[in-house]
Amino acid sequence: MENSWKMFEEFHIDEEMGFALPNPLVELPHPYDAWISIARNLPQLIEDGQLRAEVEKLATLSTDGLEGHKEQRLGHLALGYLTMAYVWGRGDGDIRKVLPSNIAIPYCQLSEKLGLPPILVYADCVLANWKKKDPSGYVHRITLKEKMSMFLVEETTSVRALKRHKPWNMDILFSFPGGDCGKGFFLISLLVEMAAASAIKVIPIIFKAVQCEDSETLQDALREIASCLKRALERFHQIHGKYCMPYTMRAAVKYYVDPNIFFNVLRIYLSGWKGNPSLPEGLLYEGVWDTPKQFAGGSAAQSSVFQCFDVLLGVQHAAGGASSVSAAEFLQEMRTYMPPAHRNFLRSLESGPSVREFVLSKGDASLRETYNKCVQAMVSLRKYHFQIVTKYILIPARRKSKEKGTSKGSSKSEDKGTGGTSLVDFLKTVRRTTEKTLLKEG
């Protein structure tokens, strides 16, 4: 890999936004604006019981008029929202098993062009589902205290990105029912992606340092990785509504994701039709396939960030027992839900030199410690992810089961992630395999 952002162009990685789509479009030309109109009014249409009727009125459009990657991504995002809303309705158990051809045909055509499945994926609802409230970026007058803190902020790529794409000036394009719960959930996930951007940037430097056996440069680059992953964890903490940014970035930035609303409302609309007892056979895409198809819902496992640093640091999820193999297979499957350019980037990392083996071979205690800080940062992220899953899914699921008077075993389907996997087993396994990657002394 060259130490240049030119090589990232083919992988659709942005210097400031990382894997997120930089400056997504917010409008589509006629006649595709009809999709946008419904997607933008989704919560109200669902509440009024008009969503399905409005979707069924739509004309069947060819996707040939959508020019360029960003128009296609916005189209895929809008159709993803329409599809999830059509299938799950009000979230009260009234489910549709057939997606009408007027939506299914263009959705599948667009999915084929983008190399994505015809379901709302992480690349849609997080990476391409944001905008600036005020395109000029002006929001408030900066106080003296904020000006002073500007000089104290480390000028990494992720920090510069947060200054340029001010979090208090960011919003999501489309929402599901549940008020600001979805806004908080998607934007916090986006901020985590942005925090990792400058870490991605140093990967070519790391590979070159290993090839040239330049331990000093490698150690500096690994420090940057550890620092970025630490900032990603700080962004993650905002899910509780905590301020985790310097004063320059705090103005009115306080997102909160309510556990009950997330579990009982938002999570329903993010659920897929693979491993889901509500749609055991999957969803029939009318006019496209003659039999139902199964696709997993959006999942954090579809983020390229975690898998990127797993590969870089040599985390081997398949090493271990049957649970490890199962987790590794699930992570590989989730790659098919990523944009093809991001999948190709992960494959390119796998063909690069082994950072872990190089650190081992040097026997340098200081280098080993710096490498371990990177791995430990990944462990910390995964531990916190498990805490979030416990608070937002496992506890509400058990509470719901208790309210219904059902057995403990009957809540297992509720304990599954939107990606369709067993959350507890998967998260514990990936955390354990990440911990095993830490290098021991001597």
Band of residue 387 on the pLDDT scale cut at 50, 70, 90? very high
Q: Which domain holds residue 170?
A: 1-146+159-436
Residue 151 lies inside a defined structural domain of this protein: no
Residue 441 within a domain: no
Task: Give the pLDDT of residue 168.
Answer: 67
Query: What's the whole-number mean pLDDT along residues 239-257?
Result: 54
Instruction: Give per-residue pLDDT as tens, 336-351.
Output: 999 999 999 999 999 9
**Number of domain units in the chain:** 1
pLDDT at 320 over 70: no
Q: 396 or 442, which is more confident? A: 396
- Using a pLDDT cut of 90, give the percent of the chain over it: 75
Q: Could you report the per-residue pLDDT of 41-67, keeping only the tens digit for each? A: 999 999 999 999 999 999 999 999 999
- Note the pLDDT of residue 1: 55
pLDDT of residue 287: 98
pLDDT above 70 (res 106): yes
Is residue 152 included in any domain, yes or no?
no
Is residue 12 part of an annotated ligand binding site? no
pLDDT, position 246: 44
Kindly report which listed range (136-145, 162-171, 357-366) carries the lowest average pLDDT score: 136-145
pLDDT score recorded for residue 2: 54
Q: What are phi and psi of 98, to 5 degrees?
A: -125, 130
The confidence score (pLDDT) of residue 134 equals 80
Would you state the structure tokens that stand for residue 393, as one six-digit string? 């899914």
Cα 388 from Cα 257, distance rounded (Å): 11
pLDDT at 334: 96
Residues 4-24 pLDDT 10s: 556 688 899 998 899 999 999
pLDDT tens-digit profile of 414-439? Answer: 566 665 567 888 999 999 999 999 99
The overall average pLDDT reported for the chain is 87
CB 178 within 8 A of CB 267: no
Helix or strand holding residue 99 (H, E): strand 98-99
Tokens for 285, please give them.
Answer: 């895409």
Round to whole Å and give the CA distance between 363 and 168: 46
CA–CA distance, 341 with 114 (Å, rounded to integer): 10
Rounded to 10 degrees, what is the CA torsion of 186, 190, 192, 193? 140
Establish if 376 belongs to a structural domain: yes
Inside any domain, residue 154: no
Please report, for the chain, how many H helices and E strands are present, in that order.
Answer: 22, 4
98: β partners? 284
Q: 198, 242 in Cβ contact below 8 A? A: no
Read out DSSP for 236-274?
HGGGGT---S-GGGTTT------HHHIIIIIHHHH--SS
Confidence band (pLDDT; 50, 70, 90) for 178? very high
Query: How many CA atoms, within 13 angstroms, populate the side-chain half-sphere of residue 417?
Result: 22
What mean pLDDT is predicted for residues 384-409? Answer: 84
N-term to C-term CA, the chain: 31
Please give the pLDDT value at position 139: 38
Check whether 404 has a pLDDT greater than 50.
Answer: yes
CATH of the domain at 27: 1.20.58.480
**231, part of any domain:** yes
Q: In which band, very low, low, confident or very high, does the pLDDT at 135 lie, cut at 50, 70 and 90?
A: confident
pLDDT exceeds cutoff 80 at 309: yes
| Amino acid 325: pLDDT | 75
Residue ranges in 6-89 assigned as alpha helix (H):
6-9, 33-40, 42-47, 51-57, 69-88
Task: Identify whether 167 is part of a domain.
Answer: yes
Whether 205 is covered by a domain: the verdict is: yes
Banded pLDDT at 214 (limits 50, 70, 90)? very high
Is residue 384 scored above 70 in pLDDT?
A: yes
Inter-axis angle of helices 304-313 and 355-362, nearest 10: 30
